[in-house]
Structure 1
Amino acid sequence: MSLPLLTAVTPRYEAQLATRLDSSRAVHVVRRCADLAELLGSAAAGIGRVAVVSADLRGLDRAAIQQLKDHDVLVLGVHRPGDEGGERMLRRWGVQVVLSADAEQPQLEGALTELVSSPQHDDGQGGSAPGTSSGGPGSAFRDRPAHPAPDRADPADGTGQGQRDEAADETDRHEGEGPSSLDALETGRGTVVVVWGPVGSPGRTTLAVNVAAELAEPDQPVILADLDTYGASVAQVLAVLDEAPGVAAASRAADQGSLDRATLSRLAIQVVPGLRVLTGMPRPDRWPELRDHAVQDVLSACADLVPVTVVDVGFCLESDEELSFDTTAPRRNGAALAALEVADHVLVVGAADPVGLQRLVRGLDQLAGVTAAATTVVVNRVRAEAIGKNPARLVREALVRFAGVEDVILVAEDQAGVDAAVLAGRTLREARPSSPARVGVREAASRVTGRELAAPRRRVLARRAAAV
């Protein structure tokens, strides 16, 4: 059966390629799109089942390829003759069948046959073959290596990264050569830990920062990623003065297919030995830069680079944006939902007061609908002043009664210690190693990794380089 085909190819090769495609028995050209917007609109309208795109098509990126796949459109990529970089780029974007734009008819027929007979093709029944990925959210993380190793490191993408790179380099020089070098680190698929909590200020960022700090060692590095699209604050808590958002640059690199180990190592600045940070958005209105699929690619790259990635996400889990548009639209909560979908473990944090506990109980019900990951409930700022005598017992009884949660980690109130650490731009491990809050934080850190942590040291860790 001949399938309807859409083309979106740069003008130099468009006419001759369309002629050869129209001669094929596998497909017939139904629309020659002038740009990416027309191609995506035609795919959304169901006009075509196959799309031919060129690597140099303006605006084409991984998100656009994923959008085509979401509309059950098979994608054939073409590139300029001899353009190996364009071929690699298309494959990084998830295009499985790629050939040169000047390919002869037999080669083109073979590529079309391979594409149509691939597991993605469902013979017009509207859905992927059983047991295969449909290319939906999370498929990039689960079904393929995150980013093929490139021949060389990609250059900086011009996002104001230079000062931060120099700071990170200064930190690395300060620490010297050793096991903290990510270039020499060999890890399997790392663990992704998402820290989430309901609306309010239950201490999501405080927990995420300090759990990451407890897990970070020079030979066991951790990446802390700030994906809060409402109020990113990890950079401020850790006194990272450069406001260029690392997650935005990493997401752009993922969309462009250039997020490799070297690029990610450069964007994730090192604040203390073993702890690297992908800073969040300095302004909430920049949330559209964090597309779902790019976020999952970034987390996949982090999991390939370090043993543990800790992610701080926003409180809101609604996905109603889709109801307001008749086309695919960016989702403000997409970053949090994408992170929760690929998480290996979720730390759910709530505040130990009547309002906070009520929000926590309701939030647990909502969370169950968006992630299947193992969850650990952490109740923060446990104090008698908020809920009465013997607060630990009261918190446990409330969660058992109203949420059916028997296993809960309690973090004692230590406002003075947390304030002192934030004022100094440091973690509790550095600034207040004897803080009572560290007991619960270390228990949470041990729980998500399944390994016992070394006994806490009394001395403060080596100070970070002044340039950071």
Structure 2
Amino acid sequence: MTAAPTSVVTAVTHRDETALVAVLGDAPGLVLVRRCADLAELLSAGAAGVARVAVVSPDLRGLDRDALRHLAGHGVRVAGLVPGDDEAGERRLRQLGVATLLRPDDDAATVGTALRALGDASTSRPLPQEEPPPADEPPDAPEVPTPVTVVWGPTGAPGRSTVAVTLAARLAAAGVRTLLVDLDTWGASVAQLLGVVDEAPGVAAAARASEQGALDVPALARLAPEVLPGLRVLTGLPRADRWPELRTAAVEDVLRLARAVADHVVVDAGFAIEDDEELSYDTAAPRRNAATLAALDTADHLVVVGAADPVSLQRLVRAVQDVAVVPSPPPTVVVNKVRAGVAGSRPERAIREVLGRFAGLEDVRFLPWVPDDCDAAVLAGRGLPEVVPRSPLVAAVAALAADLDARAAPPATARHGRRRRVAV
């Protein structure tokens, strides 16, 4: 039985279109179904399901990461047509994730083989080819990937940003190179907490560069200045109404590259995780909560922060239930701002009983309410571990950091005290 031909659409510049069409006509196992004049027509063809493969030029107007994600969502794999001397165009396509590249002078057999293989693939990215080690050499130990920890929680200012900043600062103080990313599309505040000027380009510039295929590890590092020894910060949106700039594909790419910038990535995420039902039918439309949902999906660790008062605890119970139905790791639940005034003389015990009864949460962490220490850190524009290193909140977050990253654990001598010197 003869296999069905691979359907192809094109959106390439005029100087190469005639030659490409002729080659596609001669290539075995391919059928050209449409020649698109612009990106809008290409996206429309992709959404209509008329083709399995699209061939694009690097200078196609409007081509960005979100457009490629739109095509991928409709099962369209993308190849690029790049002249051999167009290094900038080739680099741009590769950074956008286009791995299959054709040359204008390729023959029909070469083009046919490449596009048929792409049409049968599950992604536009190449699969890694790993060669087994020689029989007389032991395999290398697997490299531990940089963990991404997302700090999230319900609405009502439970202290998500304070916990995220303190956690990142504590990891950095322990010698773990850390990148703190502010992805809160409702009220970014990391820049203010750490005294970074509003003009810092931050995550908006990173997302914009990613969309255009211009973001790599050095570029991301330049956009994330070091505010403390070992701590880089990618500041959030300076205005909440700029949330459409943080699209899913760009956020995923930023977090992917962030793993190469630091040894631990901490993300301060917005509270809302609802997926707009109307917009979800339009994969090209921006969604305000997409940044948070993408971060949760990417995360290795999830810290859910709620406050200790009765209203906040009710919101925390619902938040734990809500986050359980979206792609995310198992949560580490943290109750912040714990004090006797809102939960009685033994607040930890009372809160644990409430959360165990209504949410089935037994393993809960508690962070003390120390408003004076937090105020001092905000006034100084620095992290709590630097301004008030002996704060009980710093000690509690340090224990959390050690559980999330073994490299942040204190040495054994520090945990058990100094050994008594024995006279001989």
What is the TM-score normalised by the length of structure 1?
Answer: 0.80
Query: Would you say 1:119 and 2:121 are equivalent positions?
Result: yes
| 1:398 aligned partner | 354
Superposed CA deviations along residues 238-297 of structure 1, whole A, max 9, x for unmatched, are 110143331111122222333223212211111110111000000011111111121111
Query: Would you say 1:313 and 2:315 are equivalent positions?
Result: no
> Cα distance, 1:322 vs. partner?
4.7
Superposed CA deviations along residues 184-232 of structure 1, whole A, max 9, x for unmatched, are xxx8520100000011100000000000000004852100000000000
Tell me, yes or no, if the aligned pair for 1:7 and 1:51 is still in contact at 8 Å.
yes
Instruction: Choose from 7, 23, 42 the match for 2:45.
Output: 42
Tell me, yes or no, if the aligned pair for 1:44 and 1:327 is still in contact at 8 Å.
no
Instruction: Give the SS at the match of 1:320.
Output: coil
CA distance in 2, matches of 1:269, 1:74: 36
Residues 288, 272 of structure 1: CA spacing in aligned structure 2 closer, same or farther, 3 A cutoff? same
CA distance in 2, matches of 1:207, 1:55: 42
Superposed CA deviations along residues 296-347 of structure 1, whole A, max 9, x for unmatched, are 1111111122110000000000111554654531111010000000100001
Instruction: Give the SS at the match of 1:447.
Output: helix
Instruction: Give the SS at the match of 1:350.
Output: strand
Q: Which moved more, 1:426-435 or 1:349-358?
A: 426-435
Q: Letter of the aligned partner of 1:347 in structure 2?
A: V
Query: Would you say 1:98 and 2:101 are equivalent positions?
Result: yes
CA distance in 1, matches of 2:384, 2:53: 55
Residues 144, 223 of structure 1: CA spacing in aligned structure 2 closer, same or farther, 3 A cutoff? farther
Tell me, yes or no, if the aligned pair for 1:344 and 1:374 is still in contact at 8 Å.
no
> Cα distance, 1:114 vs. partner?
2.8
Query: Would you say 1:74 and 2:77 are equivalent positions?
Result: yes
CA distance in 2, matches of 1:80, 1:332: 38
CA distance in 1, matches of 2:229, 2:282: 48
Q: Letter of the aligned partner of 2:9 in structure 1?
A: L
**Stretches of 4+ aligned residues off by more than 3 angstroms:** 321-327, 450-455
Instruction: Choose from 23, 27, 30 the match for 1:27.
Output: 30
Query: Would you say 1:338 and 2:341 are equivalent positions?
Result: no
Instruction: Choose from 245, 254, 270 the match for 2:226.
Output: 270
How is 1:132-171 mapped onto 2 (pairs within 5 angstroms)?
Answer: none
Tell me, yes or no, if the aligned pair for 1:3 and 1:49 is still in contact at 8 Å.
yes
Tell me, yes or no, if the aligned pair for 2:306 and 2:336 is still in contact at 8 Å.
yes
CA distance in 1, matches of 2:52, 2:286: 24
| 1:126 aligned partner | none
CA distance in 1, matches of 2:118, 2:410: 52
CA distance in 2, matches of 1:450, 1:365: 28
Tell me, yes or no, if the aligned pair for 2:83 and 2:104 is still in contact at 8 Å.
yes
| 1:15 aligned partner | 18
Residues 356, 11 of structure 1: CA spacing in aligned structure 2 closer, same or farther, 3 A cutoff? same
Q: Which moved more, 1:402-411 or 1:210-219?
A: 210-219
Residues 387, 66 of structure 1: CA spacing in aligned structure 2 closer, same or farther, 3 A cutoff? same
| 1:54 aligned partner | 57
CA distance in 2, matches of 1:65, 1:324: 17
| 2:176 aligned partner | 220
Q: Which moved more, 1:44-53 or 1:79-88?
A: 79-88
Query: Would you say 1:347 and 2:350 are equivalent positions?
Result: no
> Cα distance, 1:33 vs. partner?
0.9
| 1:421 aligned partner | 377
Tell me, yes or no, if the aligned pair for 1:188 and 1:307 is still in contact at 8 Å.
no
Tell me, yes or no, if the aligned pair for 1:26 and 1:112 is still in contact at 8 Å.
no
How is 1:245-284 mapped onto 2 (pairs within 5 angstroms)?
Answer: 245-284=201-240
Instruction: Give the SS at the match of 1:216.
Output: helix
Residues 144, 405 of structure 1: CA spacing in aligned structure 2 closer, same or farther, 3 A cutoff? farther
What is the TM-score normalised by the length of structure 2?
Answer: 0.88
Tell me, yes or no, if the aligned pair for 1:322 and 1:329 is still in contact at 8 Å.
no
| 1:370 aligned partner | 326
CA distance in 2, matches of 1:115, 1:442: 48
Residues 110, 144 of structure 1: CA spacing in aligned structure 2 closer, same or farther, 3 A cutoff? closer
Q: Letter of the aligned partner of 2:338 in structure 1?
A: V
| 2:406 aligned partner | 450
CA distance in 1, matches of 2:115, 2:324: 42
CA distance in 1, matches of 2:186, 2:128: 31
Q: Where do 5+ consecutive residues of structure 2 fail to align?
A: 130-142, 412-424
Instruction: Choose from 59, 64, 67 the match for 2:67.
Output: 64
Tell me, yes or no, if the aligned pair for 1:350 and 1:360 is still in contact at 8 Å.
yes
CA distance in 1, matches of 2:302, 2:232: 20
Tell me, yes or no, if the aligned pair for 2:66 and 2:284 is still in contact at 8 Å.
no
CA distance in 2, matches of 1:328, 1:262: 29
Instruction: Give the SS at the match of 1:377.
Output: strand
Q: Letter of the aligned partner of 1:334 in structure 2?
A: A
Tell me, yes or no, if the aligned pair for 1:384 and 1:390 is still in contact at 8 Å.
yes
Residues 217, 102 of structure 1: CA spacing in aligned structure 2 closer, same or farther, 3 A cutoff? farther
| 2:420 aligned partner | none
Tell me, yes or no, if the aligned pair for 1:230 and 1:284 is still in contact at 8 Å.
yes
CA distance in 2, matches of 1:68, 1:326: 12
Tell me, yes or no, if the aligned pair for 1:345 and 1:374 is still in contact at 8 Å.
yes
CA distance in 2, matches of 1:409, 1:232: 25
